[in-house]
Amino acid sequence: MPAKTRYSIFSLVRNAFSYHENWEEAWRSPEPRPEYDVIIVGGGGHGLATAYYLAKEHGITNVAVLEKGWIGGGNTGRNTTVVRSNYLWDESAHLYEHALKLWEGLSQELNFNVMFSQRGLLNLAHSPHEMRGLARRVYALNLNGIDSELLNLEQVRAMCPILNFSPKARYPIYGASLQRRGGVARHDAVAWGYARGADARGVDIIQNCEVTGFQISNGKVHGVETTRGTIRANKVGVVAAGHSSVLADLAGFRLPIQSHPLQAAVSEPVKPILDTVVMSGAVHVYVSQSDKGELVLGAGIDSYNSYSQRGSPKVVEDMFGALVELFPIFSRLKVLRTWGGIVDVCPDASPIIGRTPVEGLYFNCGWGTGGFKATPSSGWVFAHTIANDRPHPLNEAFGLERFSSGHLIDEHGAAAVAH
């Protein structure tokens, strides 16, 4: 594999002289080979990160990533880009904190600017009851060595003065928790950066290649059937988000996952007005402002199950009502786009990362509404799991078997808005 040109201001200037006509491909588009050591099904951020870490951390480079559409086209390219690690339970806190640490050096590691912006993340509390819940989480995070702090009303006001601090608000603001290291990143860049990094290490990224079945005999996987033919491999990792249940069904087992539409929206771009990420469970919205100037908003999930990537308009309207309630000055901004994705939700709102009833077949799914932030560690631990045929201590608790043992990791309280 030829080394890639290093991206930098110098290479930009150098290429400017040749009208940028000599840039090479960020990743190749090869024809699939008949056999690989490992196949990753799903070319989203998690799948590409898995391939990248398989090559980088475990020296396994004979890897194909199979994507039915275009890489990063599912929830990677649809989410609201929030990154944080303020999870309640030890297992989750460690997993997401590992991700946050990887995020902190990711642009340099990948030599691809993923624009990880640690602009801080406020979780608002609107009642003493919510303050108690935030306090519990902040104390737990601190004892796990993870940054998080409680803010009183005045501290919240100093940090985000454009919020509605009226004591007459329907749900007045009482305080907040703050994770200063939290923030946002450029979602597409994460997929592209991992793709470029994986490709440079020899991974084949194969788009427009849908997996239609698994080759399984004697309880062992030997490959996959695809729209571009059979591809053999004795290890297959599935990272297919909203469609994981469909793939599990093809492999002959069931997942405890429900798929729901989740919607998001952006406003027209405006000059900087909101410098941090703000989340409110009681008023049901979360919002940040992108580097382009758009407000990026997330809604709650639609309550019905669906594989269609659209939700009901009512949910979106409620989200904007909540936005104006929290930020009265946003009323005259305009909504540019709304869209939906499919989220795969586990009963305990925590992911599944590990082995399956089929030997050599691994699943990484169930990230619900919060998978983007975990992309680096999700790929990192999944690569470890596939390479060693056993989980890393960081994802040991996240196996499928927890639904029969009952060792659930209930993170419903950690979601940005109530789900």
Partner 1 sequence: MTQKNRLPEGGRIDRTRPLGFLFNGRRYTGFAGDTLASALLANDVHFVGRSFKYHRKRGILGSGAEEPNALVQLELGGRTEPNARATQVDLYEGLIASSQNCWPTLEADLGAANSLLSRIYPAGFYYKTFMWPPSFWMTYERFIRRAAGLGRPPREPDPDRYEKAWRHCDVLVVGAGPAGIAAALAAGRSGARVILVDEQAELGGSLLSRKGAIDGAPATHWLDTALGELRSLPEVMVLPRTTAYGYYDHNMIGLIERIGDHRGGSNGGVPRQRLWHVRAKQVVLATGAIERPLVFSDNDRPGILLASAIETYVNRYAVAAGRRGVIVTGNDTGYGAALALAGAGTAVTVVDLRTEPTGPQHETARARGMEILAGHTVARTFGNGRVTGVEVMPMTADGEGVVGSGRRIECDLVGMSGGWSPTVHLYSQSGGKLRYDEALAAFVPGNFRSGQHLAGAVRGSFGLGAALSEGFAAGAAAAEAAGFRAAAAPVPAVEGYEPAPQRMLWVLPSSKPLGHGGKNFVDFQNDVTAADLKLAVREGYRSVEHVKRYTTTGMGTDQGKTSNINALAILSETVGAAIPAVGTTTFRPPYTPVTVGAFASRDLGDLLDPIRRTPTHGWAEKVGAPFENVGQWKRTWYFPKAGETMHAAVNREVKAARTSIGIVDASTLGKIDIQGPDAVKLLNWVYTNAWDNLAIGRSRYGLMLDENGMVFDDGVTTRIGENHYHMTTTTSGAPRVLAWMEEWLQCEWPHYRVFLTSVTEQWATIGVAGPNARKLISELTQDIALEDESFPFMSMKEGHVAGIPARVFRISFTGELSYEINVPTSYGLALWQALMTAGEKYEITPYGTEAMHVLRAEKGYIIVGQDTDGTVTPGDLGMDWIVSKKKPDFLGKRSLARADTRRDDRKHLVGLLTQNPSEAIPEGAQIVGELKPRPPMKMLGHVTSSYYSPNVGRSIALALIEGGRARIGQELHAALPDRNIRVTVTEPRFFDLEGTRVNG
40's tokens: 């990753």
Shortest CB 346 distance to partner 1, Å: 11
Largest CA distance in the chain: 66
Q: Which of residues 129-148 bind partner 1 (CB under 8 A)?
A: 129, 132-140, 142-145
Closer Cβ to partner 1, 220 or 292, answer by number: 292
Closer Cβ to partner 1, 206 or 236, answer by number: 206
Calpha distance 333→302 (Å, rounded): 25
CB distance 323 to 345 below 8 Å = no
Shortest CB 168 distance to partner 1, Å: 7
Using rule CB under 8 A, residue 304 touches partner 1: no
Residue type, 60: I
Q: Which of residues 356-395 bind partner 1 (CB under 8 A)?
A: none
Taking residues 65 to 84 in sequence order and writing x for each that binds partner 1 by CB under 8 A, - otherwise, the string is ----xxxxx---x-------
Closer Cβ to partner 1, 215 or 413, answer by number: 413
3-state SS, residue 401: coil
Q: Which residues of 30-60 are buried (b: 16+ CB within 10 A; e: fewer)?
A: eebeeebebbbbbbbbbbbbbbbbbbbeeeb
Using rule CB under 8 A, residue 153 touches partner 1: no
Q: Where are the beta strands (DSSP E) in 61-174?
A: 63-66, 82-83, 121-125, 149-152
Return the H-helix or E-strand segment holding 99.
helix 90-103
Kindly tell me which residue out of 56, 62, 113, 157 binds partner 1, with binding defined by CB under 8 A. 113
Q: Which stretch binds partner 1 (CB under 8 A): 151-159, 162-170, 246-254, 361-369?
A: 162-170
Closer Cβ to partner 1, 26 or 250, answer by number: 26
CB distance 325 to 283 below 8 Å = yes
Kindly tell me which residue out of 2, 3, 19, 31 binds partner 1, with binding defined by CB under 8 A. 19
The number of residues that bind partner 1 (CB under 8 A) is 110
CA proximity to 65, closest of 191, 160, 207 = 207
Kindly tell me which residue out of 56, 58, 410, 419 binds partner 1, with binding defined by CB under 8 A. 410
Q: Which stretch binds partner 1 (CB under 8 A): 54-62, 226-234, 321-329, 380-388?
A: 321-329
Q: Which of residues 219-278 bind partner 1 (CB under 8 A)?
A: 267-273
Q: Residue ranges of the alpha helices (H) in 17-89? A: 45-58
CA proximity to 278, closest of 141, 186, 184, 172 = 184
Using rule CB under 8 A, residue 413 touches partner 1: yes
Calpha distance 119→137 (Å, rounded): 20
Q: Which of residues 169-198 bind partner 1 (CB under 8 A)?
A: 169-171, 186, 188-189, 192-193
Torsion of CA 323, 324, 328, 331, to 10 degrees: 110
Using rule CB under 8 A, residue 207 touches partner 1: yes
Return the H-helix or E-strand segment holding 383.
helix 375-388
Q: Which stretch binds partner 1 (CB under 8 A): 58-66, 119-127, 152-160, 366-374?
A: 119-127
Using rule CB under 8 A, residue 396 touches partner 1: no
